[in-house]
Amino acid sequence: MPAVTPIRALQGRTESKADKGFDPRAASQETLGQSQLRQGQLRALGQGGQAPRSGEPVQLRAADEEAEVRALTRGTVQAAMEVLAGIRPVHQLARRLDPRCLAALQHRAALIRREITRTGNPALGRLHRNSVVRSVRICEVAEGTYEASAVVVDDVRARAVAIRLERSKQVWRVTELVIG
């Protein structure tokens, strides 16, 4: 029996593609229709719900931008805590952090690893383990610049993290990262 996701069940779709026979032309038509629908939705997000003129980039609404910044902050903080715990390589954050923040995070992770091997303290081994981002608060300080704070709880303690995100060339970059 094919697995049915709740969305497909709500749409009344109970047969899988394997049951019906797969037709690549129909699949490409369906994909094309979905991409046209997404493009239409993006155009509607332009200035005041009107379609933007050709050649203009689509501007995000403030609510969408805030949701994007909140999600980026949550992901970046979680990844940074995993770097400090030693379960994620720091180079995975290279595209999101500016070089100074990346170097500081790498240096802090190296100090933690060195202290763990030097002392052999089991409490240090639990530091930053099983970190969970509990909450994220954001504030727009200027156009294209947000500051955010997050509360992170791990096996040993709760800590605060502060972040500053700036938009450059339609890409968000973390320019400040302070982990308490």
In this structure, are strands 171-179 and 158-168 parallel, antiparallel, or unpaired?
Answer: antiparallel
Side chain identity at residue 40, one-letter code: G
Average pLDDT of the residues of the chain? 77
* Reported confidence tier of residue 127, pLDDT bands at 50, 70, 90: confident
Among candidate residues 6, 47, 2, 32, the one with its CA nearest the CA of residue 20: 2
Q: Give pLDDT, residue 8.
A: 42
* 99 or 35, which is more confident: 99
- For residue 159, the model assigns a pLDDT of 93
State pLDDT tens for residues 57-115. Answer: 666 566 788 999 999 999 999 999 999 988 999 999 999 999 999 999 999 999 988 88
pLDDT of residue 6: 47
Three-state SS across the chain? CCCCCHHHHHCCCCCCHHHHCCCHHHHHHHHHHHHHHHHHHHHHCCHHHCCCCCCCCCCCCHHHHHHHHHHHHHHHHHHHHHHHHCCCCHHHHCCCECHHHHHHHHHHHHHHHHHHHHHCCHHHHHCCCCCEEEEEEEEEEECCEEEEEEEEECCCCEEEEEEEEEEECCEEEEEEEEEC
The top-scoring range by mean pLDDT among 9-13, 41-45, 69-73, 120-124 is 69-73
Q: What is the mean pLDDT of residues 27-37?
A: 49
Over 90: is that where the pLDDT of 117 sits?
no
**Mean per-residue pLDDT for 31-58?**
52
